[in-house]
Amino acid sequence: MLLQMLLQATEQSGAGLAVFGAAIGAGLAAIGAGLGIGKIGGSAVEGIARQPEAAGAIQTAMLIIAALIEAVALFAAVICLLISFKL
Amino acid sequence: MYTHLRLFLSIALVAATCIFSVPAHAEEPVQHKPDTVVDGINKAEQEIEHNLEHSEEKFDIGKMIMHHIADSHEWEFSHGVTLPLPVILYSADRGIEVFSSAKFNNEHHEYNGYHLIHGDSEVIKPVDESRTVYDFSITKNVASMLLSAVILILVFTSIGRSYQQNRGKAPKGFQSAMEVVILFIRDDVVKPNVGPKYEKYLPYLLTLFFFILINNILGLLPGSANLTGNIAVTMTLALLTFIVVHLNANGNYYKHLVSPPGVPLPLLIIMIPVEIVGVFMKPFSLMVRLFANMTAGHIILLSLFGLIFIFQSFAIAPVISLFALFLNFIEIMVAFIQAFIFTLLSSMYIGSAIEEHGHADHGH
């Protein structure tokens, strides 16, 4: 059923399928980033709860790792942008 | 010495502003032969079509976003307030040509044998396709970079001077504000990651941090140029880190690239390509990380404001403005974090390249 719909869409305008794929890719990248950073945030908060004196060091580490994860998600977002502008 | 430097720089800033107006006196274009009646009628027809095209334009959000993010040959501070920037072209047959980009403001965006093509990014192409022309113009991004360079030089020479004058005394004024940030970078970013020989790399890393920071922050102002969201700029910064790392790397670093310690021989066949790819992936990730963060932030903000124009209702504007305000605060935080991460990763790469025989996993 789904395949039939996809085949019809490709027949009429193939370019639309590329943008559809790009949109799904960007959404998946967002989910991946959200999961990763959420896990980091959870462990960081748990660590601070166990040892409040280490709050400064834990916060710094959490920010660094969050930025690295976000970079990977943004790689994917940039590629999806390139696809949707057909470069 | 520093007072003269500040004076010189202030004069240079004023002079640069005046120089931008000099290209208005550029050479005249090639003379056309006089119009005949048929030519006149054709021109009138073209103008009617042109006006029809431009009268009822639907709001194209993609075009609006690309216009604000991409580089341009004139600096548009807001609608109608544009500063035409000098166009500097070099070609083998005509040599160096300098003229103001306001010359392209005619019907077909054409001047003196060159076309200004408004696509996703503005390109200047010669009408005669066979000529190669090199474009060295002062575009919006170049002008913004020169402005931020002047700001950085003025700020930091004044801080250097006040450190020399206040030797042994407590810092006061602007110097004490910047001292917090400089000491943070030195003590928490550079010293632990680069190791004992950090002082040699401190000027480069501090410059890197403040350059990226001030360009990120300047890009958030309305009517500004998106400099760190230009992949050529971030590529240059990543290339500089690559050069600094590899010029200063010691024998250990290069040896570990081809024989990572503690790896058995069969695994070595996989490890060596991985290590070599890693050498190039690290600056590449630096480049894409900064570019994508800045560009994505600008695109999100512009899309939000574009939503107001898509819905075309006054009621939605306050809601979106609040959301955009919130996002702007996040963008300021991202500006700081991206500058910090670039500097942190650069110092980590430098540290791993100049590291002495510290590892315990050698066996010798």
Q: What is the pLDDT of residues B164-185, one digit of tens each?
A: 888 888 777 778 888 889 999 9
pLDDT band at B260 (very low <50, low <70, confident <90, very high): confident
Residue B119 and residue B44 share a domain: yes
Mean pLDDT for the stretch of residues B58-81: 85
Instruction: Give a yes or no: residue B270 inside a domain.
Output: yes
Q: Is A74–B293 a contact, with Cβ atoms under 8 angstroms apart?
A: yes
Q: Answer whether residue B218 is part of any domain.
A: yes
B41 and B153 together in one domain: no
B225 and B110 fall within a common domain: no
Q: Which residues of A touch B (CB under 8 A)?
A: 60, 63-64, 67-68, 70-71, 74-75, 77-78, 81, 85
Number of domains in chain B: 2
Reported in sequence order, the residue ranges of chain B that DSSP labels E, i.e. its strands, are 74-78, 81-84, 86-91, 95-100, 110-111, 114-118, 122-126, 133-135
Last residue of a domain, one of B106, B137, B168: B137
Alpha carbon distance B172, B183 (integer Å):
15
Q: Taking 80 as the threshold, does the pLDDT of residue B38 lie above it?
A: no
CB B16 within 8 Å of CB B75 = no
Query: Distance (Å, rounded) from C-alpha A34 to C-alpha A77?
Result: 13
Whether residues A74 and B288 touch (CB distance < 8 A) is answered with yes
Looking at the structure, do residues B250 and B340 belong to the same domain, yes or no? yes
Return the number of other C-beta atoms located less than 10 Å from residue B130's C-beta: 5
**Using one digit for the tens of pLDDT, what is the confidence trace for B190-200?**
999 998 989 99
B101 plus B244 within the same structural domain: no
Is the confidence at residue A30, as pLDDT, over 50?
Answer: yes
A70 contacts in B (CB within 8 Å)?
A: 293
**Chain A residues with beta carbon closer than 8 angstroms to that of B338:** 67
Residues B132 and B242 in one domain: no
**Is position B66 within any domain?**
no
For residue range B302-352, list pLDDT tens digits in order. Answer: 988 888 888 888 888 899 999 999 999 999 999 999 999 999 999 999 999
Give a yes or no: residue B77 inside a domain: no
Same domain? For B163 and B105 the reply is no
Residue A21 has pLDDT above 70, yes or no: yes
Helix (H) or strand (E) holding B179: helix B174-184
Residue of A nearest to B343 (CA): A64
Residue ranges making up the domain that contains B37: 2-57+86-137
Same domain, B11 and B156: no
Tell me, yes or no, whether B238 lies in a domain: yes
Out of B285, B295, B341, the one facing A64 most closely (by C-beta) is: B341
For residue B283, the chain A residues in CB contact (below 8 A) are none
Q: Are residues B172 and B25 in the same domain?
A: no
Decide which of A44 and B30 is more confident: A44
Most B CBs within 10 Å: which of A74, A80, A84, as the mutation test of the B interface?
A74
Residue at B63 is within a domain: no
**Confidence check: pLDDT of B290 > 90:** yes
* Prediction ipTM score: 0.77
Burial class (CB in 10 A: 0-12, 13-18, 19+), B111: buried
Quick one: B35 and B183 in the same domain?
A: no
| Alpha helices (runs of H) in A1-87, residue ranges in sequence order | 2-12, 14-50, 55-84
The pTM score is: 0.80
Q: Minimal Cα–Cα distance from B256 to chain A, Å?
A: 24
**Is residue B260 located within the same domain as residue B132?**
no
Closest CA–CA distance from residue B289 to any residue of chain A (Å): 5
- Which among B284, B281, B200 is positioned nearest to B244, based on CA atoms? B200
Q: Where are the domains of chain A?
A: 40-87
Give dist(CA A35, CA A48) in Å, integer: 20
Residues of A in contact with B337 (CB under 8 A): 63, 67
Q: Is residue B65 part of a domain?
A: no
φ and ψ of B353, to 5 deg:
-80, -30
Q: Select the residue from A19, A62, A64 to test the B interface by mutation, using most B Cβ atoms within 10 A.
A: A64
Q: A27 to chain B nearest CA, in Å?
A: 14
| Shared domain check, B154 and B43 | no
| Residues B322/B247, Cβ–Cβ less than 8 Å | no
Is B73 within a domain?
Answer: no
Which tops the pLDDT comparison, A37 or A68? A37
